[in-house]
Structure 1
């Protein structure tokens, strides 16, 4: 029996997706039939364009249905991270299909402006369009609710498409009412407007799904969630080098460096990170790999130099941060070995950062040498 109280389980996602897709297919095919018939009967290219848009939405629901089925497949030998990214690929296919449809409708609407047909006003047309608007508003609310419940980019795209359809159909309705009153055929112009709505919807969906496929910065909420979860354990002094990979909705693999007291028994520290890895997988569903970083906390000389170096680093650019600090003492000089994280918004080059930090530390004490490794932020 499927546990619908846990919407992140594969079968549950599949059932939610199937439910949304089948309802979407039924509603959109029905809307296509009545709008296409009415638009053809009353010679309205805008209504026909809106009808074809509904047919495209039905096609999107078919692709959605297939993608939810395929993405719920468990990991296998060739795909050890699972198949959930299929949902992103399917969303991209839908987006391209919508774009092509919008371009075709743009051509048709332009021809309608060049060679306009007389449009017969009918309360039947108005009634059908009002019904379509109401149906699309309901679909929007239905899909956005399910999208939030299972964190689905496909259903969010479907919901957004329904909302854009409401605006597009409202424009067609306005044209149908105003054209006879103004004595001017707005049909072709509104058809162009509808096609633009369709293309914009396709572009927005494509951008969102490509961001997921290319690898985008994880949300601040997710970063904070992992950060606070790891730091709540006694013995964890800090974390850095957090990297998060997304392999589908709510399917995350991550790695992080955890700082612990160098004096602590290595077996105790190892047991600590084992517990964190196991517990975060159970509690949050995140597959986390932890690298252990022992740091010295009780050496006044090292602590003083760490504080000095941190001030120098932030003084070079307040967006910079450092970690993995250690000191190798010598008879004539001491080496300060540490990593500096340069975020993407920092305009300085790696060499400029290293040179400025080295120079400023030399100004503090000429017997201090730096060994700096540059890191990048992935969060």
Structure 2
């Protein structure tokens, strides 16, 4: 069913980086959500009125808010479609994250209202008679919401949308919440005790949990979370298979919303290679990554000495030393300045987030280790913290 709707209403469904395609997916999700949730609101509100159940009535209002969330989703994607301008050179795609926050706060507000009504029902319980119409409406609602969860999850994954994934999570929490209300309407008349208010509290907690999950995921994206490992590996593999590339380090990826990804990286090449040829190869790689993966990549050319026995030997020894401090620590930009009284070993060390040692501790351990190799060696160290989840430095042999 979902695939059929995509085929009918989304032109070029596989061009998911295109803002028009993303807008079409969002419009399909939004219109479907509005229609379904308005129907559910009408059915539940009628059932809640007939039975006098505050949980069913509250659940109906939740569906009305879901329809409002769908409206927010449609508007946000339309705004995110706007091209970059002088004030927003990276585009407007992050509006989607702002919309996701709005949905989360709306859900939390409804949770607060439901808690208040539920406690009132606990303090002043009224036992409602079992009603087949109400039970049927709730059962149908569970099936519809479960389908909406699967529907929005598929659309969200297709275009990597935090708003649609939030909508899917909301639908799943609604499914559990409505299930709790259905249990209350069936069990309460049997045991002769009103579970309505207690189930209302459970529904509210589920709503809060859904909202917190949406907030956490959206705030992570706004604060600047580490890129997905798949994205890192894609860039690394593309770079390392290119001719002339000996290794890479200092990979940084910035996301300004789906379809607006920028990255920078240092690429190591043989210092004796023709600089014009190396530069041309780097330009080709940048174009390929943009065309194949939609990532705006900026590459810094980093020439390294590869045929000097002294440098290669010292590089290997320092690398072994660093491995003893932390196995995921890496080194790059290694060079040696030889002198009559002393020699400087100059290099950068990338420290993983898992390493609990301070910069001062790491620096002192490396200095002591280098001195142990030869008292005339001086280590000139620059410590970096990685911006990605994988080890920062990679060569064609690692």
Please say whether Structure 1 and Structure 2 have the same fold, judged by a TM-score greater than 0.5.
yes
What's the counterpart of residue 14 of structure 2? 5
1:67 has 2:76 as partner: yes
Alignment partners' CA distance in 1, 2:12 and 2:82: 17
Match status 1:340 vs 2:349: yes
Per-residue CA distance 1:44-68 (angstroms, 9 max, x = gap): 0110111111111111111101001
Paired with 1:288 and 1:7, the residues of 2 have a C-alpha distance of 19
Query: Where does structure 2 lack aligned partners over 5 or more consecutive residues?
Result: 1-9, 389-398
Contact 2:342 2:378 in 1 (8 A): yes
1:127 to 2:127 alignment: no
Instruction: For residue 378 of structure 1, give the secondary structure of its aligned residue in structure 2.
Output: coil
**1:54 corresponds to which residue?**
63
Number of aligned residues: 379
**Alpha-carbon distance, 1:9 to partner:** 0.6
Quote how far apart the aligned CAs of 1:251 are: 2.1
Query: Which residue is 1:40 aligned to?
Result: 49
CA contact (8 A) 1:260 1:295 kept: yes
- Shift in Å, 1:318: 1.9
- Helix, strand or coil: the match of 2:237? helix
Is 2:233 the partner of 1:224? yes
2:286 is aligned to 277
Structure 1 partner of 2:329? 320
User: Is contact 1:179-1:185 (8 Å) kept?
Assistant: yes
User: RMSD of the TM alignment (CA)?
Assistant: 1.1
Alpha-carbon displacement from aligned partner over 1:117-145 (angstroms, at most 9, x marks no partner): 23121100000001101111111111111
Note the alpha carbon deviations across 1:275-329, whole angstroms, 9 max, x for none: 1111111110000000010000000000000001001111122231111101111
Distance (whole Å) between structure 2 residues aligned to residue 137 and residue 349 of structure 1: 49
Deviation at 1:250, TM superposition (A): 3.4
Deviations 1:324-343 (A, max 9, x none): 10111111221100001112
| Alpha carbons 1:258, 1:293 under 8 Å: kept | yes
Match in the other structure for 1:213: 222
Structure 2-normalised TM-score?
0.94
Structure 1 residue 2, shift from structure 2 partner: 4.5
Aligned partner of 2:107 in structure 1 is 98
Superposition map of 1:192-271 within 5 A? 192-271=201-280
> Counterpart of 1:144?
153
Select which of 359, 372, 375 maps to 2:381: 372
1:31–1:54 Cα contact (<8 Å) kept: yes
1:306 pairs with 2:321: no
Give the structure 1 partner of residue 7 of structure 2.
none
* Aligned-partner SS, 2:60: helix
Shift of 1:4: 2.6
Greater mean deviation of Cα atoms: 60-69 or 141-150: 141-150
Structure 1 SS opposite 2:349: strand
Q: The residue matched to 2:87 in structure 1 has which SS?
A: coil
Q: Of 279, 282, 300, which aligns to 1:291? A: 300
For 1:222 and 1:125, the matched residues in 2 are separated by 48
**Aligned to 2:187, what secondary structure does the other structure show?**
helix
Counterparts of 1:97 and 1:142, CA distance in 2:
22
Deviation at 1:27, TM superposition (A): 0.7
With 339-348 and 121-130 compared, the bigger mean Cα shift is at 339-348
Do the aligned residues in 2 keep the contact of 1:43 with 1:120 (CA within 8 Å)? no
SS at match of 2:243: coil
Which residues of structure 1 form unaligned runs of 5+?
none
Q: Is the 8 A contact 2:254 2:261 kept in 1?
A: yes
Structure 1 runs (4+) greater than 6 angstroms displaced: none
